[in-house]
Structure 1
Amino acid sequence: MELRGYTVDPAAQFDTEVITFQWFDHVLHGGPLPPLLAGRVNYELMGANRWEHADSLDAAAGGYRDFQLSSERDGDHHVSDESVADAGEPLRIEWHPDSVLRIPLRAARP
């Protein structure tokens, strides 16, 4: 099975109806929790063909990476992993009364 050019791992291909009714049986009748739902956060690790389980999103994340808006294009995006301190002139964001956030993609000039 493919989805947007990605071959979906066999572990990610399951019968959602079966899992749904197993969960209902657990919640309504005290049945066993489906193994696929072992944690509060459950996710299939793409490419590894296995499910992971965690108690929270923070525990599942294993760390974070900050990205900054950038005036330079990187493929289809205007983001950079350089720190704010390294970025030089800050990006100016203006709030307009029409409630639309406009973010200029070129460095603001004084």
Structure 2
Amino acid sequence: MGGSDSDDGVSDSDDSEGDQRSYPDGSGGNRPDEKFVGPNGALRAVQANRALPLADIVTIARRLTNGQIIDARLRPVKGVLQYELKVLETNSEVSRYSFNARTGKLIRVR
């Protein structure tokens, strides 16, 4: 009892009112990694050892580009949690760097 697992109104209850989760594939959220999506999803993923902290991913990305990171998201893709970093490159183009959230390995650059 007590501790950080207490019901503070932001729990994983069945009441979806006020739920800010979104699923780009329209799946409705019936996926094993759904608890890692949303405002506190990255924190839960790091605490569950399913993802590296974002700061670690940013450090890896900085070795790959001199551009400015303008957005970062954690999302499940085909059963794998991925960080996607949107980067404004020095040539003014926007690139998206996808990393395996658990290992930090670069998956692709688009």
TM bucket by the smaller chain? under 0.3
What TM-score do you get using the length of structure 1 for normalisation?
Answer: 0.25
Relative contact order (C-alpha < 8 Å, sep 6+): which is higher? 2
Question: Which structure's CA Rg is the greater one?
Answer: 1
